[in-house]
Amino acid sequence: MGETVARTLYQWFADSAARHSERIALEAGGTSLTYAELDTLSARLAAELVRACGGPPARAGLYAARTPFAFAGYLAIQRLGATAVPLNPAVPEARNLTVAARASLDVVLADAGLSPPPAFPAPLLASSLADPPAPGPLPAGEPDPDGLAYVLFTSGSTGTPKGVPVRHRSVDAYLTHIVPRYALAPGCRVSQTFDLTFDLSVFDMFAAWGGGATLVVPGRYDLLKPVAFVNRERLTHWFSVPSVVSLAMRLRRLAPGAMPSLRWSLFCGEPLSLRQAGAWQAAAPGSVLENLYGPTELTISCTQYRLPADPAAWPGTANGTVPIGLPYPGVEHVVLDGDGRPADEGELCLRGVQRFPGYADPADDAGRFVSFDGVRARDGEAVTEESWYRTGDRVAWRDGLLVHLGRLDQQVKISGHRVELGEIEATLRGLPGVLEAVVLALPDRDGELALEAACTGHGLDGVALAKGVAEVLPGYMVPRTVTVLEALPLNANGKVDRRAVAGALRA
């Protein structure tokens, strides 16, 4: 038997559409679409893209919220063999324009019901699912497993977002593992909790569609009341960041047995505490609960740990978090100490079929890859398929499982979003009158991380500074408070003493 050819994202959807054409593929905003209907709508939008561009585009932006148009548009881009670059209407205009410029887009497909920024550096195609079909045959996209499925932009420590391109081959390996693992099939109803600019949304869409399941999109306030959403929509599969659990706990929504329909509960994007897991498991006692881990660069998630059904058998960890477990098939891993040697505790480095090929801007590759000969890692060599990606995550082996211990740099997770504190600091320093800026992620009263900033300068107002950041960066990157100090405390080496800054902010 020959080697199995990897499928593209659109092929994963199309295979289910061929088998389950009359099954419901999507429920969003009061609209239900079968696989056949969603496929037809995507073909219509694809034809519009071809007509507007004079042929299939190579790279297309998608400016849309989580509506039927957004999902049909995503599929339209994929069926043409183009690379999708999602843009988020909820973030500041400046952010979308920066991403669009760095993505080298050929076109932006926009929901006509929205008002997109007027200065996109690419032609704008505003459309609607109510528009008439474009005339002429639709050119078939040439399936290319080694082509790019999407490019997502993550926070960058230099103040500029970094483009992470992901290949179809990587997503195919991912879906081949997780679709059967979570028994995704016709009749399953899957939550869609992530914005399309968040890589975990690719699980939402294509794990559901790859199994012939129904993707159920929450309404505007549903994630504030996840139990009501699960029960109203009879969800069988839940996938979200752990902070959703904390919100439900805070609102006292997780009563024992409150979510009887759930069969699977998956969490990713930030550390899952044993306390959060226990509260959710009690509310969904018929659900299998797994903790997943993975940077965007390793295609959505790449390690897994399934908690035993009996909480008495759950592992204890020093930091109170659920282990991230073991890597997926096809993902190689090594833990390296500060000298680049294998260790039981240190930085997690990964490679394999799910690893991305390198950042959209090769300059961003510096310091993010190492070669490893089995004895010691080396920096500064060209990126190849054999290179190991340095995650920046500190892990330790505990009883045969990987436990996440935090970061080695200034990157944090806020509600599952990857945030480089340096990007926020650069934005603050760019505001009028600001001389210095430090941003910290500090635990609030519920233990969730919240951003707080300190600045020095003349004639500054903390509220105005926070508003200035909100005009440039997404809401999850805006500090909750900005405190103006006369000077930033320094340590014995003359560097900013972040611990002392934290003390000053909490004083």
Architecture of domain 330-407: Roll (2.30)
Is the separation of the CB atoms in 192 and 224 below 8 Å?
A: no
- Among 66-70, 78-82, 184-188, 268-272, which is the least confidently predicted range? 268-272
Rounded average pLDDT over 187-199: 96
CATH of domain 411-506: 3.30.300.30
- Span 126-172, pLDDT tens digits: 999 987 776 666 666 677 899 999 999 988 766 688 999 999 999 99
Q: What is the pLDDT of residue 20?
A: 98
The percent of residues above 70 in pLDDT, for the chain, comes to 96
- Pairwise CA distance, residues 13 & 148, whole Å: 17
Beta-bridge partner residues of 450? 442
What is the CATH topology of the domain spanning 9-217?
Rossmann fold (3.40.50)
* Backbone φ, ψ for residue 47 (5° rounding): -65, -35
Q: What is the pLDDT of residue 416?
A: 80
Rounded average pLDDT over 395-415: 88
Domain boundaries of the chain, sorted by first residue: 9-217, 330-407, 411-506
Query: Containing H/E element for 103?
Result: helix 93-103
- Among 151-160, 354-363, 403-412, which is the least confidently predicted range? 151-160
Residue 82 has pLDDT above 70, yes or no: yes
- Among 150-159, 213-222, 320-329, which is the least confidently predicted range? 150-159
Is the separation of the CB atoms in 71 and 26 below 8 Å?
A: yes
Give the chain's mean pLDDT.
92
Say which residues have a Cβ less than 8 Å from residue 494's Cβ, sequence separation at least 6.
none
Say which residues have a Cβ less than 8 Å from residue 353's Cβ, sequence separation at least 6.
169, 170, 173, 330, 331
> What is the C-alpha end-to-end distance of the chain, expressed in Å?
68
Beta-bridge partner residues of 441? 451
Q: What is the pLDDT of residue 398?
A: 93
Is the sign of the CA dihedral 233, 235, 238, 242 positive or negative?
positive
Query: Containing H/E element for 452?
Result: strand 449-457
* Backbone φ, ψ for residue 412 (5° rounding): -135, 170
Is the separation of the CB atoms in 214 and 26 below 8 Å?
A: yes
Is the separation of the CB atoms in 304 and 326 below 8 Å?
A: yes
The highest-confidence range among 241-245, 386-390, 455-459, by mean pLDDT, is 386-390
Beta-bridge partner residues of 371? 378
Rounded average pLDDT over 203-212: 98
Residue 194 has pLDDT above 90, yes or no: yes
- The model's confidence at residue 1, banded by pLDDT at 50, 70 and 90, is very low
Complete DSSP assignment for 399-429? TTEEEEEEESSSEEEETTEEEEHHHHHHHHH
Complete DSSP assignment for 238-272? EEE-THHHHHHHHTT---TT--TT-SEEEE-SSPP
Query: Containing H/E element for 172?
Result: helix 168-181
Is the sign of the CA dihedral 228, 229, 232, 238 positive or negative?
negative
pTM of the model: 0.88
- Residue 188: what residue type? C
- Among 129-133, 145-149, 405-409, 429-433, which is the least confidently predicted range? 129-133
- The model's confidence at residue 246, banded by pLDDT at 50, 70 and 90, is confident
Rounded average pLDDT over 298-307: 97
Rounded average pLDDT over 251-264: 94
SS3 content of the chain, % helix, strand, coil (to 5): 30, 30, 45
Q: What is the pLDDT of residue 3?
A: 62
Q: What is the pLDDT of residue 142?
A: 72
- Pairwise CA distance, residues 321 & 312, whole Å: 15
Say which residues have a Cβ less than 8 Å from residue 187's Cβ, sequence separation at least 6.
213, 236
Q: Considering all CA atoms of the chain, what is the largest pairwise distance in Å, rounded to the nearest integer?
A: 73
Q: What is the pLDDT of residue 136?
A: 60
Helices within 259-364 (DSSP H only): 274-283
CA dihedral 323, 328, 333, 338 (to 10 degrees): -30
Q: What is the pLDDT of residue 418?
A: 82
CA 434: distance to chain centroid?
32
- Residue 312: what residue type? A
- Pairwise CA distance, residues 493 & 219, whole Å: 51
- Among 7-16, 167-176, 402-411, which is the least confidently predicted range? 402-411
- Among 154-163, 290-299, 330-339, which is the least confidently predicted range? 154-163
Residue 484 has pLDDT above 50, yes or no: yes
Q: What is the pLDDT of residue 425?
A: 87
Q: What is the pLDDT of residue 448?
A: 81
Q: Which among 157, 173, 220 is positioned nearest to 193, based on CA atoms? A: 220
- Among 123-137, 188-202, 377-391, 446-460, which is the least confidently predicted range? 123-137
Is the separation of the CB atoms in 31 and 79 below 8 Å?
A: no
